[in-house]
Each structure stands twice: as C-alpha cells, then as structure tokens.
Amino acid sequence: MNIEEIQQQILDAEQLQIIGNNSQLKSNHLNTLDMSAYSGLVSYQAEELVMTVKAGTTITYIESILAHNEQILPFSIKNTASTTIGGAYAIGSPELRDAVLGVKVIDGQGRILNFGGKVMKNVAGYDVSRLLVGSKGQLVAVCEISFRVLPKAYPVATSTGTIKQTPSKVRQQIEKNLKQVFDPNGRFV
Amino acid sequence: MQITQELLAALPEHIVIHGDEMTRPFECDGLSMYRQKPLAVVLPENIEQIRIVIEICNKHNTPIVSRGAGTGLAGGALPLDNSIVLGLSKLNKIKTIDPQAKTAVVEPGVRNIAISEAVAQHDLYYAPDPSSQIACTIGGNVAENSGGVHCLKYGLTVHNVIAIKMLTIDGEELILHRNDDGIGLLALMNGSEGLLGIITEVTVKLTPKPERVQLVMASFDHVRDCANTVSNIIKAGIIPAGLEMMDQFAIGAAEDFTHAGYPRDAQALLLCELDGDHDNVEQELTKLLALLSTAATIKVANSEQERLTLWQGRKSAFPSVGRLSPDYYCMDGTIPRHYLADVLENITQLSAHYALRVANVFHAGDGNLHPLILYDASIEGDIEKAEALGTEILKLCVDVGGSITGEHGVGIEKLNAMCHQFAADELEVFHQIKAAFDPQSLLNPGKAIPTLHRCAELGNMHVHNNELPHPELERF
C-alpha cells in the first residue's frame, strides 16, 4: 500500500470510515479505509530523540525498535500489541499530543499535507499536527507521524486521560468550522 | 477619528491612549526596524473592557492587534495603520496558586518571571524561560509558544500550559483545557500569534525546583568535535537541563563583555547543565565527563556563584555582539541535531560570501540556532545584504529538515521564509483555520501566514516534505 493508493481510495469514496486495527474505535461502517497495511519505520536516529513512522505501525513494533537503543515512548498506550500509532493518535491523549512533532495527512479533498516537522522546536504556522490529535478519523487520514522519544532512564508522563463533557456552543461552532476546513464534503465518517 | 471617540465614550478615559505622541511607545515591538502607529491603544483593566473593545472594533470593521510586553522579536505585535492595539499588560494579577496540584492561575499580562518569583516559597518555578523573561508576559508566551534554555528537558510553553480562557472575535468566552476530549484546540492556540482569539487567563503547570544543578563547561579546538559531543550526550541517554553552544566569535565577544572566564582561543564552547536529585546528577556527571574526551578544556562549576558567572557569558551573548556592530539581525532556525557541524560550516561559507560577520549561539540540545548577522544600517545596501544572508540560512535549515523559526514566531519578519517551508495547499489550510475563528480577519491580520499571492510573487523554490529536487547532489 502506498500513499497514492490511499489518496485514490479517499477520492473514489463518497463516504468512508478510517480504521486501524479496530482495537480502539470499532468500525460499523461498510466502506472502510484500512490504514493498518500502511506501516513501517520512515526514519529514526536515536541521537535526535525523534522517530517517524507510518500510521499503521503497531505500538509494539515501535517499542521494540526503541528498546534496541535504550529508548522509550514518552506516553503510555493500552493494548499495545494491536494498537497502531495512527489509532492512538486518532483517539488522542494529552501526553501523546505533547510528544507529536509533525504529521503527513490526506484531507477530505485528497490533498497530501505536511504540518510540523522532525525538530523539537518549530513555531512556523499553526500547530496542526497537535490540533489533529484526538480527531478520531473525522478530519483527515493520518499517514505519517513524527514524535519525540525518551531515553529509558526518564520517567514516562503519567496518563491524565481526557474529560468527556458536552462542548460549549462556541466550541461546537469552531469544531464545525474546522470540519469544513479539513473535510468539506463530509467524506470521513 | 470616530472609533477613538467611541472608545473614549465607552471606556475610562485613562485606558484609551491616542494621538501621535502618546501612541509612539506602541509603534513597534522587539523588532524595531518596522514601525507603525495605530489609531489608538487600549489598556484594559478587566475582561469586560476587552469585550467592549471587541464590540466597537467589530462594528467599525477595525483590526485588533493584541500585545503583551512588546518583547517579541518577529513583529507579531506591530500595529497596523488602521488598527487598535489591545495591550494586556495591566491584567497582571496572579489569581491563585495551588502548591499541591502544582498549578497557578494568572492573568495574561503577568510577567513570566513573576510567576516563578511568586511560587518560589513553595520550591516551585515556571519552567519555560525565554531570555526576555524579566519583561515578557505569559499571554505573549502562549501566543508565541515561547521556548528558552531549558526546553529540551522541560518543554515549550505548549507543554506547560494546562488551560486558557479566551475571547473569540464575537466576544464569547472559550475555555480550553489540556484534558479536553477531542481535537487539540489548546495546542492550536499556543503559537497562534494573536490571530485566533484574545487570551484572558492562563493556568500554568509549575515544576519542582531541582535538588541540585550542575554546570559543566567544555571548550573545543574543532567545531565538529563540539557538535559531535552534543549528539553523543543525547545518544548516551542524558537529557541535560540546558545544552548551549557558542562559536569562536561569540565566545570572544561574550568574554570581552562579561569576563566570565571563557577560553578565547577555543573554536567552540559547550555549556551543559544537569539537574535533578543529588545522586542522579552525580551519575550523569560521571557519564558526561567520560563523553568529553575531545574537549580541549573542561571546567566543572563548583559553586553557585561560578555557575551563574559561566551562564552570564552565554546569556549576554546578544548584547556582547551588539557592542561590536551598529546593527545585528538575529535568526531563529532549527535543524536536526546531527546536521549541526554541516550547517555551521555552511554558515561560515555564506558569511564569507556576503562579507558579513556572523556570531553563532545555539540551543544545541534542541537544534535551535541563533546566528547573529552583523551589519551597519548606515551603509547603503547592508540591510538588504543581511536579509539575503538570513534568508539563505533559513533555507539551509528547511533543506535539512528543520524550520524557519524555533521560538521567535513568524510575525511579519518571516512571512517570506514561510513560502519556503510550506506549499500552497498547507498555507491555504492555515488561512482557512484563521477564518474558522475569525471570518472577517480582524485579529492581527496579515501576520504569521503569507498570502498565496505573496509566495507566488517571490517565486521561492518550495522543498516539499524535505524532498529536495535533486537529492543526489551534495549540499555541503
């Protein structure tokens, strides 16, 4: 599976549901975009403390590569065996969002877009790569994710979780507007 | 001016500043080469007054430029000729401190260092420390996603803000929290440069003061040895609290100015600070000293006084260099660390090519470069030469997979450079995100994101996703 095939599948569909390994969000839609086949390491240099992987890569695989260099993920994920990094990104957590440095995504119009990068400090443009953490497959198809890693000796941030509550009217309106920005035709369901 | 009269009628007279003389102090921020007087400046003393300003500006379709302490280095708070400046410096109260939860709730005009001072009695501090921390405000820090010397270990502003309250351009309050379910609107607000909303309250995370802080200074005869040492330290599993590098020119300038005891004949200098509990620091120190085999000299600070003296040189690097030249231009690119030596060599070549001196000071640990280009504005063509050299340096950063700005922001200064880092599709998304919050474009319009037209006119080669047009060519 390559990125052009994902792009084509998005453009061909009227509506589709993005899935990973079905470990976090269960799919109930007929037409799915299965990202689990889009997996593997894109780049990793231990001294940079930065790794880039394709979205379908499992957390277990990522952790095994990091372990060779005595490094760890700076956030914790449940069910690591089946969870993909793309799925974890879509569900989101404050600690995962902290670690994200950049993404390559395909939006609802099939455009391949790059936000953020592979460096710790980067304030060029809005921080879209952290904005989209927790977007639950509703705004874009996440293809590649760059994130920060840690030496083994450093403590992983405690999971603080997310608080589910009915968003205020203002927030609802802004979220609706942002859906229009990333997926104006409502392809991603 | 009708809008000024209306502001004067609706607000206490002493918070509305107008007229040529009175608005002059607000005509620029830290990037003083650009100046523009606004229609008026309002310095609100409460949230209700901000709402009134928003309402009146909406009615007159008048842009609002938010401003903290005006220390920004990219022109983000530069007024527009038809704008109102909304200065938030009077909203400077620390509302609550919770030592147990390690949080503080503050108004946007509270100065960065004032938070650390107020919580010091609880052995806590606010970790992000931009060099302007004595003056800069927390609201400005959020707007710029400010960094500092300790980012590698303690994160940027975005990692140290728990919640904000903001007003939208409709005057509605929006509360954003780190733990909100769904998309990261709080993260989006960090670094949004005043284009999306007006920050009215910030809840910050406080960090326990470390038990021990240990500074080590090492000098090198070769720049490449110093750069490799930076990589080796990180590879060995040490994350220093600070890891700073200076080149020979910067070392000399700092030593002349501060007499910190830097070895003037060194080609590169590394300042590495370790912190944590006593035993951890001791272990890391042993590990670190073993990694400094290529260093010409090593000095382990053995008193707090010595530590502060050694830091003084680095922290005075900008004014030290400023003494040697009528003008200097400070860059803020970031690069992946392993390109440090290559990029430095390239900057040296560019400096020779343009016949302008460049002093290099880096936050080496996080790959954030601050080359200072020395020039003389009174010499015709020198500004243009300095800007051209600066553009080349930023292109170099993007070409190796870095960014045009690590912590200073885009403002008006780096609009052209943005065209090099982003393609038209991404810039279009940025403009649409702005419109999702501010459809009439009244909040700091024209800053941070270049128009597509501007980029087309520039005709810059955009390096898409760091894939160079001819990857087989040697770039160094």
pLDDT single digits (tens) B409-441 = 999 999 999 999 999 999 999 999 999 999 999
- Set of chain B residues whose Cβ sits within 8 Å of the Cβ of A175: 182-183
pLDDT at B126 over 70: yes
Do the Cβ atoms of A113 and B426 come within 8 Å? yes
Task: Search chain A and give the residue with CA nearest B409.
Answer: A123
Q: What is the pLDDT of residues A99-119, one digit of tens each?
A: 999 999 999 999 999 999 999
Q: What is the 3-state secondary structure (H, E, C) of B231-274?
A: HHHHHCCCCCCEEEEEEHHHHHHHHHHHCCCCCCCCCEEEEEEE
Q: What percent of chain B has pLDDT over 70?
A: 96
B404 contacts A88 by C-beta, under 8 angstroms = no
Residue B445: CB atoms within 10 A of its CB come to: 18
Contact residues, chain B, for A161 at CB < 8 Å: 179
pLDDT tens by residue, B194-242: 999 999 999 999 999 999 999 999 999 999 999 999 999 999 999 999 9
Does B370 touch chain A if contact means CB atoms closer than 8 Å?
no
- The pair phi, psi for residue B341, each rounded to 5°, is -65, -45
Among candidates B190, B321, B115, which has minimal Cα distance to A121?
Answer: B190
Percent of chain B with pLDDT over 90: 91
Q: What is the pLDDT of residue A30?
A: 76
Neighbours of B262 (CB within 10 A): 25
The answer to whether the CB of B371 falls within 8 A of the CB of B335 is no
Interface mutation vs chain A, best among B183, B234, B274, B280, most A CBs within 10 Å:
B183
Give which of B54, B158, B403 to mutate to test A binding, by max A Cβ within 10 Å: B403
User: Mean per-residue pLDDT for B21-39?
Assistant: 94
Q: Which two tokens stand for residue B168?
A: 């939208």
Residues from chain A contacting residue B466 (CB–CB below 8 Å): 117
* Residue B462, pLDDT score: 54
Burial B223-259 (b: 16+ CB within 10 A, else e): bbbbbbbbbbbbbbbbbbbbbbbbbbbbbbbbbebbe
Helical (H) or strand (E) element with A162: none
Residue B460 has pLDDT above 80, yes or no: no
Residue B244 CB partners (closer than 8 Å, separation 6+): B149, B270, B271, B272, B314, B361, B362, B363, B364, B365
Task: Place A158 in a pLDDT band, splitting at 50, 70 and 90.
Answer: confident
Question: B122-147 b/e with 16+ CB inside 10 Å = b?
Answer: bebbbbbbbbbbebbbbbbbbbbbbb
Decide if A171 and B231 are in contact by the 8 Å CB cutoff: no
Q: Which parts of B355-421 fold into alpha helices (H)?
A: 382-399, 415-421
pLDDT mean over B389-409: 95
Mean pLDDT value across residues B282-288 = 97
Residue pairs spanning A and B at CB distance below 8 A? 195
Give the whole-angstrom CA distance, residue A149 versus residue A34: 26
> Biggest alpha carbon distance in chain A?
48
Residue B392's Cβ-count burial label (10 Å; 0-12, 13-18, 19+) is middle
Are B179 and A154 a contacting pair at CB < 8 A?
Answer: no
Q: Is B180 in contact with A49 (Cβ distance < 8 A)?
A: no
pTM to 2 decimal places: 0.95
Q: Mean pLDDT for chain B? A: 94
Distance, in angstroms, between A81 CA and closest chain B CA? 24
Chain A residues closer than 8 Å to B188 by CB = 126-128, 130-131
pLDDT score at A25 = 61
Q: What is the mean pLDDT of residues B21-42?
A: 95
CB A170 within 8 A of CB A142: no
Other beta carbons within 10 angstroms of residue A160's beta carbon come to: 12
Here the ipTM equals 0.97
Cβ contact, residue pair B147, A97, below 8 Å: no
Contacts of B192 in chain A (CB under 8 A): 126
Mean pLDDT of A124-128: 98
* Residue in the structure block whose two tokens are 């509360």: B175
Instruction: Give me the residue from B158, B235, B410 closest to A47, CB to CB.
Output: B235
Q: Assign residue A49 a region: left if phi > 0, alpha if psi is -120 to 50, beta otherwise?
A: left
Contact between B173 and B197 under an 8 Å Cβ cutoff? The reply is no
Farthest CA pair distance, chain B: 70
Which residue's structure tokens are 């160079």? B468
Indicate if the pLDDT at residue A129 is higher than 70: yes
Mean pLDDT value across residues B2-23: 97
Would you tell me which residues 238-257 of chain B have a C-beta closer than 8 angstroms to some C-beta of chain A? 238-239
Residues A77-87: tens digit of each pLDDT: 887 778 999 99
What does the DSSP 8-state code read for residue B189? H
- Collect all residues of chain B within an 8 Å Cβ-Cβ radius of residue A121: 147, 151, 156, 334, 363, 366-368, 403, 406-407
- What is the per-residue pLDDT for B474? 40
* φ, ψ for residue B47, nearest 5 deg: -65, -35
Asked whether residue A143 carries a pLDDT value surpassing 90, the answer given is: yes
Strand partners, B137: B111
Running DSSP on this structure, what letter comes out for residue B110? Answer: S
B452 — contact with chain A (CB < 8 Å)? no
Listed residue (B152, B156, B176) closest to B166, CA to CA: B176
Task: Tell me the Ramachandran region of residue A14: left when phi exceeds 0, alpha when psi lies from -120 to 50, beta otherwise.
Answer: alpha
